[in-house]
Chains A and B, each alone.
Chain A
Amino acid sequence: MEQSRALPTEVDLTRPSAARVYDYFLGGAHNFEIDRQLAEQIAAMTPNLADTMRAGRAFLRRAVAELSRLGVDQFLDIGSGIPTVGNVHEVAQEINPEARIVYVDIDPVAVAHSRSILEGNPRTAVIQADMRDPEHILREARATGLIDFAKPVGVLLAGVVHFVPDSDDPDRLMAALRDAVPAGSYLVISHSTYEDQPQEMLDAQKLSARTATEITLRSKAQVTAFFGEFELVEPGVVHMPLWRPESPDDVDEHPERFGAFGGVGRKPVAG
């Protein structure tokens, strides 16, 4: 079983990949015609989606920078996709050149790409794994030797948990990840939501679900629950642009239009 999940069964370039579509929305050229077609379809139905992705990327950058300044020097980025610019290691290592980052993605092409751009950076590693198998992720992450699970870890889940349907028991997966790290560790989550969204947006979302990988929209309460016993840092779980903006210009008049919540939690000392 473990073997079958660890090993991709095929690389099908005739089907679009979520990682490459994401790259396209961020202005990258790491994508193929089939990915761009899908991206354009989605963009036509949900005009805000590109903005949402950019906002998500910005949220991640701010969160990683914040954690780095707080002294976190090892990160586990699950669902890292195809990092073009502004990657976690770039952000973190700019603040602390000693920071170590392990990227995890399910897409074998994204993984191969990450390996090629991370060549020569000894403080990074890439794992191909399914986020529905946290035990596998943790085992592989330990095996890289880059992350010391006795010290605080920044666990990053940017725009990825909404790919896990309720039937795959995301609460269990989250609990496994929370349990694996010591007190003082941080959890960063951004997650699409239906809250505060206009009806036409939700209709479009449903439509997009048919063409792309299914996304499960969740409420603020559900997203908050993913943090478990972790203590949320200010300002809590909020629409992404509202999480510690760096300048007033960063905050849109309608932060809810990005359709996703972001938050950061810290694991308290047990007892």
Chain B
Amino acid sequence: MALSAAEVSTSGAARYARRWARAIARRAFVPMSSDQVERLLTAHAVGLAEALAADEFSDERARDVGRALVEANLTEPGTLGWSVKAVAEHLVDDVVPGLDLPDLPGRLAESQAALAEGFAWALRDRTFAQQERISRSAWEARDQVEQALRDSEARFRAVFSGAAIGIGLADLSGNVVDVNQAFADMLGYSREEMREINVSVLFHAEDGPDVRQLYEELIEGKRDRVRLEKRYFRKDGSELWTDLAVSLIRHDDGRPRFTVAMVQDITERYALQQRLRFQALHDPLTGLPNRTLFFERLETVMQDPAHDRRVGVCFLDLDGFKAINDTLGHDVGDKLLIVVARRLAEAVAGAGHLVARMGGDEFVILVADVDQDGTAVQVAEAALRAVAEPVYIGAHQLSVSASVGIVDRFVTDGAATDLMKAADTTLYWAKAEGGRGRWARYDPERAAREATSTALAAALPAALSRDEFVVEYQPIVSLGDGTMRAVEALVRWQHPTLGLLQPDQFIGLAEETGLITRLGQWVLERSCVEAGRWHAEFPRARLVVSVNLSARQASDPDIVEHVAAALRVGGLPPELLQLELTESAVMATGGEPVRALRRLANTGVRLAIDDFGTGYSNLAYLRQLPIHTLKLAGPFVDGMRAQDPASVVAERIVDALVRLAHALGLSVTAESVESLEQVERLTALGCDSGQGLYFGTPAAPGTITGMLQKRELPAG
């Protein structure tokens, strides 16, 4: 084992390694610093050189170097090429300069071969190992993913099959892929049957176009989920209401893939909702829509923006229903309402008109489209005919009728509430016209007049306490000597906004409301006070004040006391007070007023019949009454005009009346005397006194006082 003469050069080995390292670095990833690489390669260079120079050559060292290169990840094929080439070209010169052995070329060749062999074996082993490792890793990863998927799938399966809600999966063509048992049970199919179904079979015309459109948008990927209440039909045809949520499952790249439906059976809740809604909007007795639903519909119609749309309402009320309830009992009354409701519905609901019960025995028909003027009237007449058929309830045969108030107008003419108020008013008109089974149609002008009257009637009591009434006096003059014998007291209402109102504008209202008693008493007292003053000032004038007495006052048991009190307060002698009663007030009543009249007459008060000739006087009866004067009604005097052939007739009538009155011992006053000619004729016929424009219009008390003063002056 003697060493050869040539020594290994350390610096030469480093030089060799540096060149080697550079060659490698250009070709491959070196996971070390340059220093590390060079140190490593220097060791390899020394090793190779020592083996080459050894007494006994072995290629083992070169084989190790080849293997070590691979282990250091210096695996790039070019690395091997350079390494092999460098052994032959530079190793001896660089690391063992001067080495000279006879078999040196053979040793170099064997070194090269061993290095390449070691490199190749190591690279092959490493490649096998890495390939195996990466393959195993791939399979492990796949297993892991699959295990995760299986776990996930198992969890999903548990949810899917155990869920109380129905879950179903369908592809984009609508074919059901799978459903859980809950879904199948809800619809009454087996899961196998469900899997044969296409989703489109589960759609229905009643679903409305929205549902199908939502589904289309879902499968086209325009939306990800849909939630709605949807009706299904079970296999047996029964109805199932569900709360349905459908979600879209997409592919990884976003394309739609499946739909998942989750359904909950809400049939009971839905039915309850429907029932509650029906109850809220229908009358429990008759099953007809109630006023809430009616107003809902009416409002809908009224909100139609079309300006020329007309709407009609027929407000119907049974005639005399209270009597049926009172005499036959509420049970029969209710049954009658049920029959009437059914008939109304049959008669007009078929034509598309809504019939509703407003309450009690009131029904209302909404004529949503009045295409021509008479439509609403036709509907009302149909309703009246339907009601008029006899109704049999138990043993009773009832003859029923109704009255109808009709309003039809443009939808733009006011609010629904105004329309209903008008209908109510019109129904009242229909009723007020008397008969049964009548209809009336709304008349805006009449309504306006009535509204004014109503307002006046309402204001009357306050007006009386606020002293808004005044009394004017119209002279009544003797036709014989032309002197003023009496004045008629006439009440006026000094209305704060409407001005001076004449009696015909409010006396009727006062009579209707009963205020006439207080108003009449007030006029009586005021007149007595004024007349008392005249009497005190002008006792010789003997001026009579004539006051109207309403029928109601006349029938008041205390009228005699009231009159006596007024006379006392005014300081007026009874013979200077004349009370005017209308024919009807005197005649229509039997004993009591007549007794009162006698008692009044007994106090010395004069009594007159106003507007004589316009009523139906019982002439025989007239004779028994304690009457002093007849006031001829205006129309008789109006008829007495010159050149009018009819005036001859009027004159004869007046002549006859005057004779009659005189025959009964009554004096006669002519009203509405307007001309001298009339005065002359009336005088010729023997009429006692006259009243009218010719003698003076109604005037304030001061005016009368003035007239009385003027008359006294010539004498005084």
Q: Which residues of A contact B (CB under 8 A)?
A: 7-11, 13, 20, 25-32, 53-54, 57-58, 61-62, 82, 84-86, 90, 108-113, 115-117, 246-247, 249-250
In the assembled complex, which residues on chain A have CB atoms less than 8 Å from the CB atom of B25? 249
Say whether A11 contacts B145, CB under 8 Å: yes
Give Cα A182 to B234, complex, Å. Answer: 64
In the assembled complex, which residues on chain B have CB atoms less than 8 Å from the CB atom of A61? 31, 33
Interface of B is mostly: helix
User: Given A13-B138, A85-B73, is A30 in contact with B29 using a C-beta cutoff of 8 Å?
Assistant: no
In the assembled complex, which residues on chain B have CB atoms less than 8 Å from the CB atom of A111? 141
A-B contact pairs, 17 of them (CB 8 A): A9-B149, A11-B145, A27-B29, A27-B75, A29-B126, A29-B130, A30-B131, A30-B137, A54-B30, A85-B31, A86-B32, A108-B141, A108-B142, A109-B134, A109-B141, A113-B133, A116-B137
Contact with A along B20-51 (1 / 0, CB 8 A): 01100100111111110000000000000000
Contact with A along B117-153 (1 / 0, CB 8 A): 0000000001100110110111011101100110010
Most buried by A among B22, B31, B136, B144: B31
Say whether B130 contacts A116, CB under 8 Å: no
Instruction: Let me know if B76 is at the binding interface, CB within 8 A.
Output: yes
Give Cα A28 to B127, complex, Å. Answer: 8
Identity of the chain B residue whose Cβ is nearest the Cβ of A250 in the assembled complex: B34
User: Given A113-B133, A116-B133, is A249 in contact with B34 using a C-beta cutoff of 8 Å?
Assistant: yes
Say whether A9 contacts B252, CB under 8 Å: yes
Count residues of chain B with CB under 8 A from any CB of chain A.
32
Say whether A11 contacts B35, CB under 8 Å: no
Say whether A29 contacts B138, CB under 8 Å: no
Say whether B29 contacts A109, CB under 8 Å: no
Say whether A27 contacts B33, CB under 8 Å: no
Identity of the chain B residue whose Cβ is nearest the Cβ of A82 in the assembled complex: B134
In the assembled complex, which residues on chain B have CB atoms less than 8 Å from the CB atom of A112? 136-138, 140-141, 144
In the complex, what's the smallest C-beta–C-beta distance from B227 to chain A, in angstroms? 21
Give Cα A98 to B126, complex, Å. Answer: 29
Contact with A along B618-640 (1 / 0, CB 8 A): 00000000000000000000000
Give Cα A28 to B126, complex, Å. Answer: 9
In the complex, what's the smallest C-beta–C-beta distance from B520 to chain A, in angstroms? 93
Q: Which of B232-252 contact A (CB under 8 A)?
A: 252
Say whether B29 contacts A26, CB under 8 Å: yes
In the assembled complex, which residues on chain A have CB atoms less than 8 Å from the CB atom of B148? 7-8
Say whether A86 contacts B133, CB under 8 Å: no
Q: Which of B6-30 contact A (CB under 8 A)?
A: 21-22, 25, 28-30
In the assembled complex, which residues on chain A have CB atoms less than 8 Å from the CB atom of B28? 27, 54
Most buried by A among B28, B35, B73, B138: B138
Say whether B127 contacts A27, CB under 8 Å: no
Give Cα A20 to B127, complex, Å. Answer: 14
Which one of A8, A11, A30, A86 contacts B134 once the chains associate, using CB atoms below 8 Å? A30
Identity of the chain B residue whose Cβ is nearest the Cβ of A247 in the assembled complex: B34
In the complex, what's the smallest C-beta–C-beta distance from B384 to chain A, in angstroms? 71
In the complex, what's the smallest C-beta–C-beta distance from A22 to chain B, in angstroms? 11
Which one of A10, A27, A113, A247 contacts B145 once the chains associate, using CB atoms below 8 Å? A10
Say whether B136 contacts A246, CB under 8 Å: no
Say whether B130 contacts A84, CB under 8 Å: yes
Say whether B133 contacts A30, CB under 8 Å: yes
In the complex, what's the smallest C-beta–C-beta distance from A23 to chain B, in angstroms? 8
Which one of B35, B127, B130 contacts A246 once the chains associate, using CB atoms below 8 Å? B35
Contact with A along B167-196 (1 / 0, CB 8 A): 000000000000000000000000000000
Most buried by A among B29, B33, B145: B29
Q: Which 5 A-B pairs have the closest CB atoms?
A: A86-B31, A113-B137, A29-B130, A108-B141, A112-B137
